[in-house]
Amino acid sequence: MTRAVQGEELAGYVRQKFPDAVCQWKGESLWIEPSDLREVAEFLRDEPDLDFKFLNSVSAVDYVQYFEVVYHLTSLEHNHSAVVKTRLYSREAPTAQSVVAVWPGADFQEREIYDLMGVSFEGHPNLKRIMLWEGFPGHPQRRDFEDVVTY
């Protein structure tokens, strides 16, 4: 069975190295400051006790007051998993740090979030729309998106 590393346990590891990076934890989730995301990601990957070398998925959720970017991680070595989240409070230009340099598998997923949710990723090598065409008005996955197409 894959063991879910609880947020509290994970926070203990992260706070040793980055005292200010942790916002909060609850259950299996750990919230990280967006400005520390990339460094923490690198730490989670390289710390031998954690060894999160496999990034399962990157998701974004629009909670209207803020956007939440969610990273599901797995260690193939220890067979345990973790959920790391970060909150972005800007509605006009939400920006998170890109983790493509840490986990190349995030490439298409970050592009998809940029396309559909309108969250930019700083440091992404090729950040452009992936599903929709350039010039599409708005980001359809947002809760307040209104279809502009008329028939």
Q: Which residues bind other proteins (CB under 8 A)?
A: 1-2, 53-57, 59-62, 70, 72, 76, 79, 83, 103-109, 112, 116, 129-133, 140-141
Q: How far is the CB of 16 from other proteins (least distance, A)?
A: 25
Cβ closer to other proteins: 16 or 108? Answer: 108
- Tally Cβ neighbours within 10 Å of residue 31: 19
Nearer to other proteins, 12 or 125 (CB): 125
Given the structure tokens 């590393």, which residue do they identify? 5
Q: DSSP for 69-105?
A: EEEEEEETTTTEEEEEEEEE--SSS-EEE--TTT-GG
Smallest gap from residue 13 Cβ to other proteins (A): 21
Task: Please name the residue ranges forming H helices in 106-149.
Answer: 107-117
**Minimum separation from the CB atom of position 7 to other proteins (A):** 13
